[in-house]
Amino acid sequence: MSAGDFNGEAERRRLWKLAGMGLEFAGAAIGLGALGWWIDGKLGSEPWGMLIGGCLGVTGGMYLLIKEALQAQKESIRRIERKRAGKEPTQNETDRK
């Protein structure tokens, strides 16, 4: 594997991680909204279950999104600092993330 392939693979991993963050957000919002909708159907409490579920889903999704974004930012800063110091991460260091 050449150095260029290694950097391309690391970039793909970062991009898939970002895509996963968006899917987690959407999944939390839609999932809890749907749960609220189901509860509304069972209890006849329309539209409160869906509204509360949707709000909880968006709040939980934002929490997950911010948590992952801060972690990605820390990793990016560490990578930049290593590059400035002349230390490129090894494949083992990148695989642990």
- pLDDT of the residue at 15: 86
Q: Contact 93/81 with Cβ under 8 angstroms? A: no
Summarised one tens digit per residue, pLDDT across range 29-50 is 999 999 999 999 999 999 999 9
Q: Can you list the residues of the chain whose pLDDT is less than 50?
A: 1-5
- pLDDT of the residue at 58: 96
- pLDDT of the residue at 17: 86
- pLDDT of the residue at 62: 94
